[in-house]
Amino acid sequence: MSHVVIIGCGVVGAAIAYELSKVQGLKITVVDRQPPAQASTGAALGVLMGIISKKIKGKAWQMRQTSIQRYETLILELEALTGRKIPFNRQGILMLLPEPSMLSAEKGTEEISQWEKLQEIRQSQGFSLEIWETAKLKSICPQVDNDKILGAVYSACDRQVDPTALTLALVDAASHYGVQFRFGVDVLGAQPHPSNSLPLKGEGGEVTPKYCYQVETTEGKIAADWFVVAAGLGSSLLTAQLEQMVDLCPVLGQALHVRLGHSLGNPDFQPVITGDDVHIVPLGGGDYWIGATVEFPTNKDEVIADQELLESVKQQAIAFCPDLAKATTIRTWSGLRPRPEGRPAPVIGKLLGYSNVLLATGHYRNGVLLAPATAHAIREMIIFNQS
C-alpha cells in the first residue's frame, strides 16, 4: 500500500484528499499547522467564474471546464455522504458591462463583439452565455441601477459556493473513507533520500530524479511514497528546503459581509453580480458578501491592508446596486492569496528534480474554482505512476 502525505488542508488539499480517498491501495495522511479552511480558503468568496471566463483553450480552459462540471456532482455527493449542507448558488453569475464614454465608443462595440464571439464558442462547447441589453437587465435585475451600465453577460452555468463549508465537508467525506487528518502539526522540513541527494545521470545521459523519503514535523518524522505540497504560501519554504523553490507572492484581498434585511431585486433570482472586479455575493436572508481588493506587497513579504481600498470596493458595489447603501456592515476580513512569480497560476505537477513530490499550489485567485480539477490532476498523476 502506497502512503500519500498531503501538506496543507485548504480547499485544494481537502479536495485532493477526498479524490484520492476513493483510490484503492492508498493510505492518505493530511497535515496542516492550522485547522482546515484557514488562510486563503477562509477568506475566499467562492465565486466560480468558469464559463464566463475568457479562457477558451488549453490547460486554463480545460481546468475550468473540469471543475465546473465536477461541482454539479460533487456538492450532492458530499451532502449525501456527510449530512452537511453546503451553500451552493446555482443561479449563475451576472457580469455588468460598463458603458463606454464618447471617446471610447469603438472600444465598447469591440467589447460586445468579443462577448458575442465567446457566446458562440460556449454554445459549441455546450454551455449557455447570454448578452443582455439594458432594458432586459433592468427588467430582470431592477436592483442594478446605474446609467453607466451598458448591459450584462449572464452565465447560467457558473456557480458560487461557500469555501469553508465545502472544505469542512471534503474533510468529513475523506475521513469517512479512512483519510487521517493531523491538524496543529507544522512541517519543519523535507528530506531527500541520502543515497539520492543529487540527481544522477543514467545511461544515455538521462537524469535520475531525486526521491523525498520523509518530512520532519513538530510531531516527529513521517515517511511516505508520495508528498503533495498544497500549502499555499507555505509551499515556498517547503520547496526551498528541497532546493527547488517555487516563488509565491502574497496578494492580499479584503472583503465585507453586509446585512440589508431584504433581498436585492427579485428574491427568487439572486445570482452573483460582478463588475469591474467587484463581486456582490448573495447569502440569503438579505445578507451579502462584497469583495475583494487586490493588494500587492510593498516589499517582498509584507502586505498591509488598505482600508481605503476596501471602502472603494464597497462604494463600487453601491454604485451598481444603490440599495446596498442602506446595508449594515457585519464584519470585514482579509486573506493572502499565493501568486506564482515568473510563471502562470496554478503550479501543478512534479517538483523539478523529484520523482515523488507533487505540487498543487499557487492558485492565486482561483483556488476554490480550480480545486476539483487540481484534485483530478493529482489523482491521475499518482494512479499513472502506480500502474
Kindly report whether the peptide bond that precedes residue 346 is cis, defined as omega within 30 degrees of 0: yes
Shared domain check, 150 and 63: no
Shared domain check, 172 and 98: no
Q: Is 105 exposed, middle or buried (0-12, 13-18, 19+ CB in 10 A)?
A: exposed
Shared domain check, 324 and 355: no
* Domain count of the fold of the chain: 2
Tens-of-pLDDT digits for all 387 residues of the chain? 999 999 999 999 999 999 999 999 999 999 999 999 998 999 999 999 999 999 999 999 999 999 999 999 999 999 999 999 999 999 999 999 987 654 455 666 778 899 999 999 999 999 999 999 999 999 999 999 999 999 999 999 999 999 999 999 999 999 999 999 999 999 998 877 754 444 545 445 556 789 999 999 999 999 999 999 999 999 999 999 999 999 999 999 999 999 999 999 999 999 999 999 999 999 999 999 999 999 999 876 689 999 999 999 999 999 999 999 999 999 999 999 999 999 999 999 999 999 999 999 999 999 999 999 999 999 999 999 876
Shared domain check, 293 and 238: no
pLDDT at residue 300 in the model? 63
**Rounded to an integer, what distance in angstroms lies between the CA atom of residue 38 and that of residue 233?**
12
Shared domain check, 17 and 62: yes
Shared domain check, 267 and 229: no
- Max Cα–Cα distance, the chain, nearest Å: 72
pLDDT at residue 206 in the model? 59
pLDDT at residue 302 in the model? 81
Shared domain check, 166 and 77: yes
CATH number of the domain at 131, please: 3.30.9.10
Q: What is the Cβ-side half-sphere exposure of residue 156, based on CA atoms within 13 angstroms?
A: 11
For residue 358, give every residue at least 6 positions away whose Cβ sits within 8 Å of its Cβ, in sequence order, or none: 226, 227, 228, 229, 349, 350, 351, 378, 381, 382
Shared domain check, 350 and 328: no
pLDDT at residue 91 in the model? 98
Shared domain check, 276 and 327: yes
Shared domain check, 138 and 10: no
Shared domain check, 99 and 60: no
pLDDT at residue 190 in the model? 86
Q: What kind and span of H or E run contains 234?
A: none
**281 in Cβ contact with 321 (< 8 Å):** no
pLDDT at residue 173 in the model? 98
For residue 270, give every residue at least 6 positions away whose Cβ sits within 8 Å of its Cβ, in sequence order, or none: 89, 91, 263, 264, 282, 284
Shared domain check, 166 and 82: yes
Domain holding 369, by residue range, is 2-86+162-247+341-386
Specify the pTM.
0.94
